[in-house]
Structure 1
């Protein structure tokens, strides 16, 4: 048999098969020897066939095929391995190695027959890789190289389809249209998809007709009935069984199944409806606002959000008396009292109540879909307590009203039909002092004690009304009594004035020495108006009083030449009166002291006499002040005596008790050479500082202590800068030397001189104008080794020192 095969790289080969068989699934070679003649392609994809030439080989094969799930009793024959070198003389031996060699697969060493020892399952392992070799039986030398081949298992339909889940759960809205997708189920077959129809699956529905259907190729479940038939309120749950069959659904295929539980979800396709058309309730007439009258219930076939509803009162004779709300937990309408009820006025009410969905769905239910019912409310009669005509009373009475004067009255009646008489009393918890009383029969309130507005301007009491026939039926009302003012208090000075007059007034000088004002505990309607005058008994030679017309008065001196040595205090009596009826007046006394003053009138010295008169201190207060002064004097004397007994300590106790006072250095120090900048001897011998004609130790002598250092590079610019620094330091030293507040010991004064600017115009030495020439540091020698040390540390270059 000649077979032309086109390989992947364009090469066409002719295969000649001897003693072979051909089938749809490939080549099944049973001990065949295979030759081939390679024919190369010509240009333009034209193939020219040459005369075949035979090339002899040892053996060549690719794979053997073995059927899975073998049920025979003998070993299953796979094929025969044969080498061209085997002459049949028994000198060739076949050796098998690889996966399962010797256990699953065995070979006849002499003949090369290959067998399987047991049944194999393709789903566990689809193929096995083996190696075979022909060797010399006598010496074991290989006759040919080892060759690898594959034993592939032929699939049979031995696995039924299996779904991913045993039970599926799905939801679909009710009233869905035909063909609405619900869910997709998927099954898998372990058989070989590339071989036959063993894994070709077809889906079908075995339970769930006629509501649902399934697509045979995809496993998608869809609705099969129209919206009118898919009603959740009629049926909510469905159980659908889906089957998957292999072999493309043909007879003899294997089948797997799964269950799908489908639930219809709710849509708002039902309006709410009252469970009854008429509701009747009763409520006592004493029910307070907000008290529940009753509950009305409406039924909605929907659930959840689609069943939420709202109730409203649409008509009736009690729209202003009752109100309705919705209980969000139970979806009931709650009828409550809105205003007080009165059985004697109206015994019953009739209302129309309406209910509708909060979230209507216009696809199924009209937005205006509503239901109505009638509500009748009967008011029950209750034995009510007396009812006052007002919720509160405000009464007024003058503070000078006589005991027994009637202030006003309260009135209460029994609202019941029998009109029981009422008795009045005052709640004594609100009138502890028993200032007021009430007539038990007519409710008149009168005084029992005098009033004083200045002590209490308002009185708040409660009057209790009780039925004669049933004293337990009581009610109360607040009564606010305002006490009206009567001018019964005289005005007095507003403050305790401390007034003085200077004894060194010039001749003929008249001066105002004090401005006074007054206070009055009364409260006239038009406000206070005070009048001031000098009392008739008060001498008028020294002082006078002038009314300013604005409720104040000024005190003036009428002469000069007051002498503290002759008389240190004067008493001036001032009459203060108001303009109310009856007019009230009082006399107050001012104490005026004679004091020594400066030219501008500022007090310097006065007698420490207490102020006298009606505005002065009491005798007890004066005694207390004197005692305090005596105690303070005693404490001062004891403190002074104790202080004298203390021994004065020397300035310096020992050499170790030396305290250095350093203000600031602001540098790293001068090292070991810095021995003259701070003279500690000045502190060890402070007596040396007492000689005023000697030089101060905190100022170095003008003569240099050390020879100047060798000259360094200098320039004209640096000389000018050095002169500026020298002048600055000289000026600061002179100021410090001449300061009277300079410390009497060595200290460091810091002179923060910033200079007039660098010639290099930069703070960096990299940009200096010049670095040549020696720097002149002679002027530094005057100020000791500290500045020389600083110059050595920072003055290596001209630019550096300038900075």
Structure 2
């Protein structure tokens, strides 16, 4: 690190040039040149007047004295010492951090300063006159720079570092790097020159002094994770290049050794001993072996194998990936009576060996001894299943086949046989308990059940709990015991204009039997057939036959139906045959042989409607009839209800008009009497509000039917009840509605609007039609107020 030496030269402005030592050659030559230039008339160099004698001041940081720290003296050459010059300070910290004596120009710092906080300050000074305050010289800037001292210790980037390095690493293997910083001035002295050292972690690790790089310091044999995995290393950083008196900072580095596969797995035992029951299922685990590996993770994964022994083909071993244990399993069934013990040689090794440590990963061997335990076993059948064949016409009691089972144990307990009746619910087969012979108990029918699957149970006499079962499959062989029949019901017709030898139908047959060589059917007319002269049968040789006409011309009116009897036989022994009847209709056809007309029976048959189809059609018709009936009933219910539903719901309305309308003619349209008694409505209704002109038409004789006055008891009782109810509750609205209307009084130009006044004043008007309602109106007047005379009018 470079060393900077700063020398401060400070001179007072009143020193004369004569007092300066001129011992230096360059200074003497300079003065001589100035003097020579003064005496010459040529242009000479002249010394410019300096108003200030300084450019920079230095101040030490972290000053701890009681008084203000003296920085230097400011002085101008215009100051003659007579007290007329005053010094003024401005700039960073002027008046607070830095103060100046106005008379003498002495500069001081008022408090301790920290270079790391601010390394220098820029200030301005000026000399002014005390008399008028005017500046005597221009303002000049200078700098106060802080001298650094070693007051900051190194600080690391992290308080704790974490690192790792593989175990078995060679000396000098890189681990990690630590870095520290020093806030002091690295350009001044050695305050920021750092040196790294290790104070804790020897002798396993080392650190480079200048870089802070940490490396391993021991060889592979000493850096073993299985011996020690974690290390804590303390690193120091010291300034002043490590010299005495420097400041120190520390950090901690936690270093872990990562695992490498440098250890082989080892069995916990050299010999393992197990007992295995002889009835252990194939593939089922019987026991486990364990090996341990000092490594961890992927390096501790291992594989187990069976490499030798007399049980190499009987047992196998697999690895449990979670526990890293070896699981022994059975590959073949065990039999205590045949072999009672086995010996295995097993091996374990790492799944992912490290090539660098193959010499350490030698294969580990162990011995496994397995003893087979005797178990009371159930009887064992000679076969896993049995298949027997029997003809369907075999007689009851006939022997079909036998099964055999023995007790595999040394005792050889006797065995009895039974049939599982859940598999033979009809008790078709039987079995002899002593020897396992199966016989027939019921007749067989191949066409119904071609196979019978039953189970036979073998049980020890001495221990009924020990039993086993075996499936027995019995195939029923076919016997020709079913005759062939027509394949379907044929609907056949012949045209009246048919020609001789014309084929009118192709028929085929079916047979429930299943001969080994396939079916072969033969078709012939029955000997007793009466239509031999009309139709013939031609066997096609492929289990089909054609029906042919033997003559020309058939008369539908003469005979519309012919019955043809056919004999169908098979080719197996014993030969089976049956007779079928073919119905042939006679129909009228066109020239191309297309049917045009048949008799009613033929049409019904040709339609091909079966009994089910006819039933479906009838059901549809019934459903449609029900829909029609329901629709009519609903329509009747929707009819308008009559005006008066019951005797209790009677509402009398008095209707009149406030317009010059139709008068009595209109009033009659709302005549309650007509609504209550429509049978007494007048046949001829005349408008009483319009009188015919006598000059044009002679008045016809006035004829009226006198309506007898009848006192309706129901109406009267109804009104009385409503009057009593309203008298008891004056706040309730009246049940009967009363409409009052305005009318033009006696002084009206239009005169009265009443239809009563439209007739001449001779008083011949008949008012008998009001006789029935007069008493009722008077009762309404009692309810709502008013005089009877008002209602009568």
TM-score, reference length from structure 2: 0.72
Aligned CA distance change for structure 1 residues 34 and 610 (closer, same or farther; 3 Å): farther
Q: Distance in 2 between matches of 1:623 and 1:299?
A: 83
Q: In the TM superposition, what is the alpha-carbon distance from 1:406 to its structure 2 partner?
A: 2.0
Q: In the TM superposition, what is the alpha-carbon distance from 1:489 to its structure 2 partner?
A: 0.8
1:247 matched to 2:240: yes
Match of 2:564 among 557, 572, 580: 572
> Aligned with 2:67: secondary structure?
coil
Q: Is the 8 A contact 1:161 1:245 kept in 2?
A: yes
Task: Name the counterpart of 1:786.
Answer: none
Question: What are the Cα deviations for residues 622-653 of structure 1, in whole angstroms up to 9, with x where unaligned?
Answer: 698399479869989x99xx9xxxxxxxxxxx
Q: In the TM superposition, what is the alpha-carbon distance from 1:26 to its structure 2 partner?
A: 3.1
Aligned CA distance change for structure 1 residues 34 and 280 (closer, same or farther; 3 Å): farther
> Aligned with 1:609: secondary structure?
helix
Q: Distance in 2 between matches of 1:611 and 1:332?
A: 88
Q: Is the 8 A contact 2:53 2:75 kept in 1?
A: no
Q: In the TM superposition, what is the alpha-carbon distance from 1:24 to its structure 2 partner?
A: 4.5
Q: In the TM superposition, what is the alpha-carbon distance from 1:513 to its structure 2 partner?
A: 1.0
> Aligned with 2:298: secondary structure?
helix
Task: Name the counterpart of 1:599.
Answer: 591
Task: Name the counterpart of 2:514.
Answer: 523
Match of 1:268 among 248, 261, 268: 261
1:535 matched to 2:526: yes
1:203 matched to 2:192: no
Q: Distance in 2 between matches of 1:61 and 1:504?
A: 153
Question: What are the Cα deviations for residues 247-294 of structure 1, in whole angstroms up to 9, with x where unaligned?
Answer: 011111111111111111111112222221111111111111122121
> Aligned with 2:299: secondary structure?
helix
Superposed counterparts of 1:379-528, under 5 Å:
379-505=372-498, 509-528=500-519
Q: In the TM superposition, what is the alpha-carbon distance from 1:27 to its structure 2 partner?
A: 4.6
Question: What are the Cα deviations for residues 75-98 of structure 1, in whole angstroms up to 9, with x where unaligned?
Answer: 101111222222222222222222
Task: Name the counterpart of 1:154.
Answer: 147
Aligned CA distance change for structure 1 residues 596 and 147 (closer, same or farther; 3 Å): farther
Aligned CA distance change for structure 1 residues 139 and 485 (closer, same or farther; 3 Å): same
Q: Is the 8 A contact 1:29 1:79 kept in 2?
A: no
Question: What are the Cα deviations for residues 450-484 of structure 1, in whole angstroms up to 9, with x where unaligned?
Answer: 22111111111111111111111111111111111
Q: Distance in 2 between matches of 1:150 and 1:31?
A: 17
Question: In terms of Rg, which structure is larger?
Answer: 2
Task: Name the counterpart of 2:365.
Answer: 372
Match of 1:550 among 542, 553, 558: 542
Superposed counterparts of 1:598-677, under 5 Å:
598-609=590-601, 625=614, 628=617
Q: Distance in 1 between matches of 2:611 and 2:357?
A: 100
Match of 1:291 among 281, 284, 307: 284
Q: In the TM superposition, what is the alpha-carbon distance from 1:243 to its structure 2 partner?
A: 0.9
Task: Name the counterpart of 2:217.
Answer: 224
Q: In the TM superposition, what is the alpha-carbon distance from 1:31 to its structure 2 partner?
A: 6.3
1:342 matched to 2:335: yes
1:562 matched to 2:562: no
Q: Distance in 2 between matches of 1:598 and 1:69?
A: 138
1:25 matched to 2:17: no
Q: Distance in 2 between matches of 1:482 and 1:405?
A: 15
Q: Is the 8 A contact 1:278 1:373 kept in 2?
A: yes
Q: In the TM superposition, what is the alpha-carbon distance from 1:137 to its structure 2 partner?
A: 2.1
Aligned CA distance change for structure 1 residues 32 and 179 (closer, same or farther; 3 Å): farther
Q: Distance in 2 between matches of 1:171 and 1:634?
A: 93
Q: Is the 8 A contact 2:503 2:548 kept in 1?
A: yes
Q: Is the 8 A contact 1:361 1:367 kept in 2?
A: no
Q: In the TM superposition, what is the alpha-carbon distance from 1:536 to its structure 2 partner?
A: 0.8
Aligned CA distance change for structure 1 residues 269 and 314 (closer, same or farther; 3 Å): same
Q: Is the 8 A contact 1:496 1:616 kept in 2?
A: no
Task: Name the counterpart of 1:695.
Answer: none
Q: Distance in 2 between matches of 1:406 and 1:32?
A: 150
> Aligned with 1:305: secondary structure?
helix
Question: What are the Cα deviations for residues 54-90 of structure 1, in whole angstroms up to 9, with x where unaligned?
Answer: 1102126443211111111111011112222222222
Q: Is the 8 A contact 2:350 2:361 kept in 1?
A: no
Q: Distance in 2 between matches of 1:385 and 1:483?
A: 31
RMSD: 2.8
Aligned CA distance change for structure 1 residues 481 and 58 (closer, same or farther; 3 Å): same
Aligned CA distance change for structure 1 residues 563 and 357 (closer, same or farther; 3 Å): same
> Aligned with 2:547: secondary structure?
strand
Task: Name the counterpart of 1:3.
Answer: none
Task: Name the counterpart of 1:82.
Answer: 75
Task: Name the counterpart of 1:123.
Answer: 116
1:234 matched to 2:212: no
Aligned CA distance change for structure 1 residues 617 and 126 (closer, same or farther; 3 Å): closer
Match of 2:136 among 137, 143, 152: 143
Question: What are the Cα deviations for residues 560-588 of structure 1, in whole angstroms up to 9, with x where unaligned?
Answer: 11122222221111111111111111111
Aligned CA distance change for structure 1 residues 224 and 624 (closer, same or farther; 3 Å): closer
Q: Is the 8 A contact 1:591 1:612 kept in 2?
A: no
Aligned CA distance change for structure 1 residues 608 and 68 (closer, same or farther; 3 Å): farther
Aligned CA distance change for structure 1 residues 513 and 632 (closer, same or farther; 3 Å): farther
Q: Is the 8 A contact 2:416 2:434 kept in 1?
A: yes
**Is the deviation greater in 24-33 or in 571-580?**
24-33
**How many aligned positions are there?**
599
Superposed counterparts of 1:734-749, under 5 Å:
none
Q: In the TM superposition, what is the alpha-carbon distance from 1:612 to its structure 2 partner?
A: 12
1:582 matched to 2:549: no
Q: Distance in 1 between matches of 2:573 and 2:603?
A: 33
Question: What are the Cα deviations for residues 462-516 of structure 1, in whole angstroms up to 9, with x where unaligned?
Answer: 111111111111111111111111111111111222211111235xx42111111
Aligned CA distance change for structure 1 residues 214 and 413 (closer, same or farther; 3 Å): same
Q: In the TM superposition, what is the alpha-carbon distance from 1:611 to its structure 2 partner?
A: 10
Q: In the TM superposition, what is the alpha-carbon distance from 1:350 to its structure 2 partner?
A: 0.3
Aligned CA distance change for structure 1 residues 90 and 295 (closer, same or farther; 3 Å): same
Q: Is the 8 A contact 2:206 2:215 kept in 1?
A: yes
Q: Is the 8 A contact 2:206 2:214 kept in 1?
A: yes
Q: Is the 8 A contact 2:225 2:257 kept in 1?
A: yes
Q: In the TM superposition, what is the alpha-carbon distance from 1:146 to its structure 2 partner?
A: 2.7
Q: In the TM superposition, what is the alpha-carbon distance from 1:399 to its structure 2 partner?
A: 1.4
Question: What are the Cα deviations for residues 291-336 of structure 1, in whole angstroms up to 9, with x where unaligned?
Answer: 2121111222221111111011111111121110011111111111
Q: Distance in 2 between matches of 1:449 and 1:537?
A: 40
Q: In the TM superposition, what is the alpha-carbon distance from 1:593 to its structure 2 partner?
A: 1.3
Q: In the TM superposition, what is the alpha-carbon distance from 1:142 to its structure 2 partner?
A: 2.3
Q: Is the 8 A contact 1:610 1:617 kept in 2?
A: no
1:359 matched to 2:352: yes
Q: Distance in 2 between matches of 1:414 and 1:295?
A: 32
Q: Is the 8 A contact 1:158 1:191 kept in 2?
A: yes
Q: Is the 8 A contact 1:348 1:378 kept in 2?
A: yes
Q: In the TM superposition, what is the alpha-carbon distance from 1:215 to its structure 2 partner?
A: 0.7
> Aligned with 2:356: secondary structure?
coil
